[in-house]
Structure 1
Amino acid sequence: MSKSLPEFKYMSFDIVGTLIDFEGGLTSCLNGIAAEAGVTIDGEEALSLYRAARYAEDADLFPDDLVRVYLAIAPKLGLPVDKAYGERLRDSAKKWKAFPDSAEAMARLARDYRLIAMTNARRWAFEHFSAELGNPFHAAFTADDTGAEKPDPAFFHQVFNFVSGEGASKDDILHVAQSQYHDIGVSRNLGMTNCWIERRHAQKGYGGTIEPAEFTKPDYHFTSMAGLAEAATAARS
Structure 2
Amino acid sequence: MIELNQYKTLTFDCYGTLIDWENGILGVLKPLLLVHDTNLDDKEILKIFAEFEAELETGEYLKYREVLNRVVQKFGERFGFEPTTDELNSLADSIQYWLPFPDTVEALRALSQKFKLVIISNIDDDLFAFSAKHLQVEFDQIITAEQAKSYKPSLNNFRLAIQRINLPLEQILHIAASVYHDIVTAKSLGLSTVWVNRRADKNKTGATYPQISQPNLEVLDLKTLAAMSSPNPQ
Q: Contact 1:75–1:81 at 8 Å: present in 2 too?
A: no
- Normalising by structure 2, we get a TM-score of 0.90
Aligned ranges 1:169-188 → 2 under 5 Å: 169-188=168-187
Q: Which residue of 2 aligns with 1:62?
A: 64
Q: Which whole-Å CA distance do the structure 2 matches of 1:76 and 1:145 have between them?
A: 31
Deviation at 1:45, TM superposition (A): 1.1
Residue among 142, 148, 151 paired with 2:144: 142
Amino acid at match of 2:29: L
Letter paired with 2:187: R
Could you report, residue by residue, the CA deviation over 1:47-69 in whole angstroms, capped at 9, with x for unpaired residues? Answer: 11111211224673324311111
Q: Show the 5 A alignment for 1:37-52.
A: 40-52=39-51
* Contact 1:106–1:136, Cα closer than 8 Å, also in 2: no
**Letter of the 1:229 counterpart:** A
SS at the partner of 2:209? coil
Contact 2:21 2:98 in 1 (8 A): yes
The residue identity in structure 2 corresponding to 1:179 is S
Alpha carbon RMSD of aligned pairs, Å?
Answer: 2.2
Deviation at 1:134, TM superposition (A): 0.6
Determine if contact 1:13/1:175 at 8 Å carries over to the other structure.
yes
What are the residue-to-residue correspondences of 1:77-156 with 2, within 5 Å? 81-156=83-158
Gaps of 5+ in 2: none
Structure 2 CA distance for aligned equivalents of residues 138 and 12 of structure 1: 10
> TM-score, length-normalised on structure 1?
0.88
- 8 Å CA contact 1:71, 1:83 repeated in 2: no
1:230 aligned onto 2:232: no
Distance in 2 of aligned mates of 1:112 and 1:11 = 10
How much identity, in percent, do the aligned residues show?
25
User: Structure 1 residue aligned with 2:217, among 217, 220, 234?
Assistant: 220
What is the aligned residue count? 231
Post-superposition CA distance 1:170-198 (Å, at most 9, x none): 21111000111111111111111110001
